[in-house]
């Protein structure tokens, strides 16, 4: 593999892209670009990237990258994708994919028409516990999925939270789903592998629970979201929560045989098994079986740590490896386009309900 990689958009998340790209041998991060030269320069200098640009067309022309990572605000994803695929680039897109479903469809359409591959940074899906959950599901351990609960916590006082709260011109304020729009991909893309309906029933409620001081523009931002989803065979709850602590990220899949609990922060997968023993004995053993699962997961994590593969964005590194491999071997991209579109469609319908005024 000897792909040339470039990044456009040198904001906060670009740091993570640079760090993960550099962990992959035999790919080269050749340049970074931002409309704001200061931002391009600081990223290039901090990470010793040899060249930086403030003109995307020039970077594409001079560097001729094989893959362009687009880490700009989502409002710009469509025009940049069109420009980049025309210049011969495959696309690695930061979430949220687009401001709306139609844009997401156009983005994927542009890549397909140009014969280029595209994927979206659904990195938690490639974390070790998520992959283990996938193996349990594929191996029939869970049975058929009955119900899924996807939970994502958020810290409004964290680096990302404060960034948009302080800046009334932050791109998050211009998204239809505002704060939810920036986070919901990660809540929903954990559900879609178990719920294959194109148009499930969706009921969403949202409210503002933050009673702290109102920064420049956070007054109209809703920060708690609950969504009920029902497909033909599977139902789901999607929760975005900015006030519960610790700030967690979990998934619970209720199957017809067993139930799995995934904790993305602690990196554990624990199985809640059907009772094998009668009466009180059946209630006696489960905690020990779960403790055994936790111990196994803990040891696995220690092993990962000792092998230096316990980074926060380890899932992104895995996703990138798969994506780059799909380019080199001309395989299907790691995330099906249909799934990306299903997530986008669900987001549109949720935002219609929680921010109806933005939909006229």
Partner 1 sequence: MKVLVTGAGGFLGVHVVERLLARGHRDLRCFLRDRGKVERLLGLSQSYPGSQLELCYGNLRSKSDCARAVTDIPLIIHLAAGLKGAPAELFADSVVASRNLLEALEERNDLSMRQTRVVLVSSFGVYGVVALGRGARIDERTPLEDHPELRDTYSYSKLMQEKLFWDYQRKVGFELVVLRPGVIYGPGGGAFSNRVGLQIGPVFFHLGGSNLLPLSYVVNCAEAIAIAAEHPNSVGQVYNVHDDDLPTASRYLREYKRHVRRIRTIRLPHFVTRMLAQLLEAYHRRSRGQLPAIITLYKAAAAWGGNKFDNAKLHALGWRQLVATSDAMAETFDYLRRKDGKQC
* Contacts with partner 1, residue ranges (CB under 8 A): 10-12, 14-15, 19, 22-23, 36, 38-39, 42-43, 45-46, 159-160, 162-163, 166-169, 213-216, 305, 308, 310-311
> Please, are residues 176 and 351 in contact by the beta-carbon 8 Å criterion?
yes
Which value, to the nearest 10 degrees, does the dihedral of the CA atoms of residues 205, 209, 210, 212 take? Answer: 160
Name every residue whose Cβ is closer than 8 Å to that of residue 40 and which is 6 or more positions away in sequence.
10, 32, 33, 34, 52, 53, 54
Q: Which is nearer to partner 1, 213 or 278 (CB)?
A: 213
Cβ count within 10 A of residue 206: 20
Q: Which is nearer to partner 1, 38 or 205 (CB)?
A: 38
Least distance from C-beta 79 to partner 1, angstroms?
22
DSSP 209: -
Least distance from C-beta 349 to partner 1, angstroms?
32
Q: Which is nearer to partner 1, 277 or 312 (CB)?
A: 312
Least distance from C-beta 217 to partner 1, angstroms?
9
Q: Which is nearer to partner 1, 26 or 308 (CB)?
A: 308
> Please, are residues 209 and 237 in contact by the beta-carbon 8 Å criterion?
no
Least distance from C-beta 61 to partner 1, angstroms?
26
Sign of the four-CA dihedral 170, 171, 172, 178: positive
Residue count of the chain: 360
Least distance from C-beta 265 to partner 1, angstroms?
16
Least distance from C-beta 305 to partner 1, angstroms?
7
Q: Which is nearer to partner 1, 44 or 354 (CB)?
A: 44
Q: Which is nearer to partner 1, 219 or 282 (CB)?
A: 219
> Please, are residues 14 and 22 in contact by the beta-carbon 8 Å criterion?
no
């Amino acid at each position: 593999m000897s792909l040339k990689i470039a990044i456009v958009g040198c904001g906060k998340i670009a740091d993570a892209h640079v760090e993960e790209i550099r962990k992959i041998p035999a790919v080269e991060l050749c340049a970074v670009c931002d409309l704001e030269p200061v931002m391009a320069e600081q990223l290039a200098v901090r990470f010793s990237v040899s060249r930086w640009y403030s003109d995307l067309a020039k970077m594409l022309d001079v560097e001729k990258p094989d893959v362009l990572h687009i880490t700009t605000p989502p409002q710009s994803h469509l025009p940049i994708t069109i420009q980049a695929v025309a210049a011969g680039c495959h696309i690695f897109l930061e979430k949220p994919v687009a401001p709306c479903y139609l844009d997401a469809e156009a983005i994927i359409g542009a890549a397909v028409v140009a014969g280029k591959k595209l994927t979206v940074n659904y990195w938690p899906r490639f974390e070790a516990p998520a992959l283990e959950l996938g193996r349990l599901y594929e191996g029939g351990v869970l049975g058929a999925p009955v119900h899924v609960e996807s939970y994502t916590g958020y810290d409004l006082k964290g680096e990302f939270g404060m960034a948009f709260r302080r800046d009334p011109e932050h791109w998050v304020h211009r998204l239809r789903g505002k704060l939810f729009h920036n986070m919901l991909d990660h809540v929903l893309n954990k559900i879609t592998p178990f719920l294959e309906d194109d148009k499930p029933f969706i009921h969403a409620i949202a409210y503002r629970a933050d009673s702290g001081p109102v920064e420049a523009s956070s007054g109209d931002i809703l920060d708690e979201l609950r969504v009920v989803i029902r497909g033909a065979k599977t139902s789901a709850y999607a929760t975005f929560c900015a006030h519960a602590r610790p700030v967690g990220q979990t998934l619970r899949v209720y199957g017809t045989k067993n139930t799995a609990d995934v904790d993305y922060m602690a990196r554990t997968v624990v199985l809640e098994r059907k009772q094998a023993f009668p009466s009180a004995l059946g209630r006696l053993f489960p905690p020990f079986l779960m403790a055994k699962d936790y111990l196994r997961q803990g040891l696995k994590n220690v092993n990962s740590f000792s092998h230096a593969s316990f980074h926060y964005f380890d899932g992104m590194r895995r996703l990138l490896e798969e994506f780059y491999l799909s380019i080199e071997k001309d395989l299907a991209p790691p995330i099906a386009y249909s799934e990306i579109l299903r997530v986008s469609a669900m987001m549109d319908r949720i935002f219609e309900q929680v921010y109806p005024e933005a939909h006229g």
